[in-house]
Amino acid sequence: MITIVDYGMGNLRSVTNALKTLGAPARISSKPQEVASAERLILPGVGAFGSAMQELESRGLLEPVRSHAASGRPFLGICLGLQLLFEWSEEGGRVKGLGLLKGTVRRFADAPERKVPHMGWNQVKRTSAPPSALVNGLADGSFFYFVHSYYAEPQDRAIVQLETDYGVAFPAMIESGSIAATQFHPEKSQTAGLALLKRFAS
């Protein structure tokens, strides 16, 4: 059973529908005990970093999310759910994150040749990191769907599985132990995204 964390800022319906398409049992929960004890956990997210941290705290979900991530059970962050894993974000000043991974979340620099947010389809490329089971069989140069103005800058580059370029190279997917996360939306990325979710579910 996959538990999808409901903290009032997630793309819950699209993630749930994607898992339903795959025949993967899933539930949406905002209950701390269910989040902490989940067999597999997805932390989705849309919106501002600071607001997300406030919502997680006010609902008593900060420690359950941290507890699950530290347990060795499968964990998947999506979009803002990736950024929240890090220590700090520049969004709204200097906002503290979950601190599960070392690094900072930074804003794309404004430039005449590109718009912020980074929105739409973009290619990913593999890095030299040992390949994750989640990207097993993924063709280099596959396209995924992105919507974000900020990107993660991990202290340890070895956790970066997939990379994308948008004026700066940034992590499209990271993995550290049982923790994996994507900056793109796999639930909106058609065949390649559904294949990744299917591997997470199994």
pLDDT, tens digit (0-9, with 9 covering 90-100), for 139-163 = 899 999 999 999 999 999 999 999 9
CA pair distance 60, 47, nearest whole angstrom: 19
Which pLDDT does position 10 carry in this prediction? 79
**Is 118 considered catalytic here?**
no
Nearest to residue 90, comparing CAs of 172, 153, 9, 160? 153
Instruction: Write the pLDDT tens digit of every residue in 91-102.
Output: 988 899 999 999
Average of per-residue pLDDT across 111-137: 91
Out of 68, 79, 91, 175, pick the active-site residue: 79
Backbone angles phi, psi at 23, to 5 degrees: 75, 25
| Residue 130 in this model has a pLDDT that exceeds 90 | no
Specify the range with the lowest mean pLDDT, choosing from 9-13, 168-172, 188-192: 9-13
Average of per-residue pLDDT across 2-31: 94
Q: Confidence class of residue 106 from pLDDT cuts 50, 70 and 90? A: very high
Inter-residue contact 122 to 91 (CB < 8 Å):
no
Rounded to two decimals, the pTM is: 0.95
Q: How many CB atoms lie within 10 A of CB 111?
A: 10
Out of 68, 118, 148, 185, pick the active-site residue: 185
Share of the chain above pLDDT 70, in %: 100
Inter-residue contact 81 to 42 (CB < 8 Å):
yes
Q: Output helix, strand, coil percentages for the chain, rounded to the nearest 5.
A: 30, 35, 35
Which pLDDT does position 136 carry in this prediction? 86
**Is 148 considered catalytic here?**
no
| Residue 131 in this model has a pLDDT that exceeds 90 | no
Q: Name the residue ranges covered by the structural domains of the chain.
A: 2-201
| Residue 181 in this model has a pLDDT that exceeds 90 | yes
2-201: CATH number: 3.40.50.880
Which pLDDT does position 113 carry in this prediction? 85
Out of 55, 91, 175, 187, pick the active-site residue: 187
**Is 175 considered catalytic here?**
no
Instruction: Write the pLDDT tens digit of every residue in 27-76.
Output: 999 999 999 999 999 999 989 999 999 999 999 999 999 999 989 999 99
Q: Confidence class of residue 112 from pLDDT cuts 50, 70 and 90? A: confident
